[in-house]
């Protein structure tokens, strides 16, 4: 069994700061992490390997420094890491990203064995689009199983897979077939602690590095800015409301009085609410 897990190196979101004057992102010194959603995918891949054997290739597209994220994935127990890095990929939107990744996965298939499952996280914390997984599935013509909360069973003989997929107001139980692409829902597992052996192996491992040509991409116009149908025209900070919040004065007042004043202010703003709360409050 061969499993490919797509991961992304992202800035640690809690640490992102916006420059107060220029409104640009201050990237300097912001630590990077593996996109937290991808760790659910990686752990699920490791669990599948625990039960069915085989090997796991982690793949990322990004700048050379994304190698760190791959090495981290190796410490959790992945067998092999591939870094897709090329200046031609700069400015890729989700369509161009899914193109490059799908080409790389095809190349991984040729080099290391056709994948039975491709995993991705539900979405990334920096882009938050949830579009790259479905894009890869479509381009590789894989069955697409998104928002999977649980894999119930995999039968390698019949190539059948059963999963629980999160949907609005409930969970669908689906039967499908390998090969497929699965995007894992958050909270479905917790990433394991890697073993010492894995840590040592990760430090020594050679990361496979491919540029566009090495990944088998012939048509470079499908990559990066040129291959992206969407264009970001402007980035801006939201303007403050013309009137800032009306502050309830707290100086020289007890919390009791401040709270009374706040409640009065709430019902002055929303008179109808007073009656509604009276009838719906807890009993």
Partner 1 sequence: MGTRKSKASPPVQGRAGMKKELPEQFRDYRHVWVFMELERGQVHPVSFELLGEGRRLADQLGVQLAGVILGPPGGSTSHAVAEAFAYGADLAYLVEEPLLTDYRNEPFTRALTDLVNTYKPEILLLGATTLGRDLAGSVATTLLTGLTADCTGLDVDADGSLAATRPTFGGSLLCTIYTLNSRPQMATIRPRVMRMPQRSNKPVGRVILHDWRMFEEEIVTKVLGFLSDGQSENANLAYADVVVAGGLGLGAAENLLAVTNLARTIGGDYGCSRPLVQKGWMPFDRQIGQTGKTIRPKLYIAAGISGAVQHRVGVEGADLIVAINTDPNAPIFDFAHVGVIADAVSFLPTLAEAFVRRLAPLNRLKLVN
Binding to partner 1 (CB under 8 A) within 17-56 occurs at 17-18, 22-25, 36
CB 123 within 8 A of CB 94: no
Closest to partner 1 by CB, 67 vs 126, is 126
In 3D space, the residue among 101, 135, 92 whose CA is nearest the CA of residue 227 turns out to be 92
Q: State the Cα–Cα distance between residues 57 and 49, nearest whole angstrom.
A: 11
**Closer CB to partner 1, 203 or 264, in the complex:** 264
Q: In whole angstroms, give the CA distance from residue 59 to residue 47.
A: 18
How far apart (Å, rounded) are the C-alpha atoms in residues 1 and 54? 4
Nearer to partner 1, 111 or 172 (CB): 172
Q: Which residues lie closer than 8 Å to 196 by C-beta, 6 or more apart?
A: none
50/128 with CB nearer partner 1 = 128
> In whole angstroms, how close is the CB of 92 to partner 1 at the nearest point?
11
What is the closest distance, in whole angstroms, from the C-beta atom of residue 2 to partner 1 in the complex?
19
Q: How far apart (Å, rounded) are the C-alpha atoms in residues 106 and 102?
A: 6
Task: Pick out residues in 80-99 that bind partner 1 (CB under 8 A).
Answer: 91, 93-95, 98
Shortest gap between Cβ of 199 and partner 1 (angstroms)? 25
Least distance in Å: CB of 209 to partner 1? 26
Q: For partner 1, which residue of 28, 157, 158, 279 counts as binding (CB under 8 A)?
A: 279
Distance separating alpha carbons of residues 204 and 128, to the nearest angstrom: 33
- Cα–Cα dist 228/116, whole Å: 28
Q: Which of residues 120-179 bind partner 1 (CB under 8 A)?
A: 123, 125-131, 133-135, 137-139, 143-147, 162, 164-177
Could you tell me how many residues of this chain bind partner 1 (CB under 8 A)? 100
Nearest distance from C-beta of residue 208 to partner 1, angstroms? 26
Alpha-carbon gap, residue 120 to 140, rounded angstroms: 14
Tell which positions 210-269 bind partner 1, by CB under 8 A: 225-226, 228-241, 244-248, 250, 255-256, 258-260, 262-267, 269
For partner 1, give the closer residue by CB, 56 or 94: 94
208, 82 Cβ separation under 8 angstroms? yes
CB 43 within 8 A of CB 192: yes
C-beta closer to partner 1: residue 9 or 144: 144
In the bound complex, what is the minimum distance in angstroms from residue 252's beta carbon to partner 1? 14
């Amino acid at each position: 069994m061969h499993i490919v897990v797509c991961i992304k190196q992202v800035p640690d979101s809690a640490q992102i700061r916006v420059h107060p004057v220029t409104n640009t992102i201050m990237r300097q010194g912001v630590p990077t992490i593996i996109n937290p959603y991808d760790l659910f995918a990686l752990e699920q891949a490791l669990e599948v390997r625990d039960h069915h054997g085989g090997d796991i290739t982690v793949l990322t597209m990004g700048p050379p420094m994304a190698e760190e994220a791959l090495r981290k994935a190796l410490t959790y127990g992945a067998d092999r890491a591939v870094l897709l890095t090329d200046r031609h990929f700069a400015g890729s939107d989700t369509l161009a990203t899914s193109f490059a990744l799908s080409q790389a996965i095809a190349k991984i298939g040729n080099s290391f064995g056709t994948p039975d499952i491709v995993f991705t996280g539900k979405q990334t914390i920096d882009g938050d689009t949830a579009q790259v997984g479905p894009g890869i599935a479509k381009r590789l013509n894989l069955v697409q199983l998104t928002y999977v909360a649980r894999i119930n069973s995999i039968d390698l003989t019949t190539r059948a897979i059963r999963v629980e997929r999160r949907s609005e107001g409930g969970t669908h139980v689906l039967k499908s077939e390998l090969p497929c692409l699965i995007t894992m829902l958050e909270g479905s597992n917790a990433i394991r602690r890697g073993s010492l052996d894995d840590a040592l192996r990760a430090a020594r491992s050679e990361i496979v590095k491919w540029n566009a040509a090495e990944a088998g991409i012939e048509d470079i116009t499908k990559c990066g800015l040129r291959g992206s149908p969407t264009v970001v025209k402007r980035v801006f900070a939201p303007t403050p409301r013309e009137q800032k919040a009306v502050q309830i004065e707290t100086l020289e007042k007890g919390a009791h009085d401040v709270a009374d004043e706040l409640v009065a202010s709430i019902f002055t703003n929303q008179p109808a609410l007073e009656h509604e709360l009276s009838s719906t409050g807890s009993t």
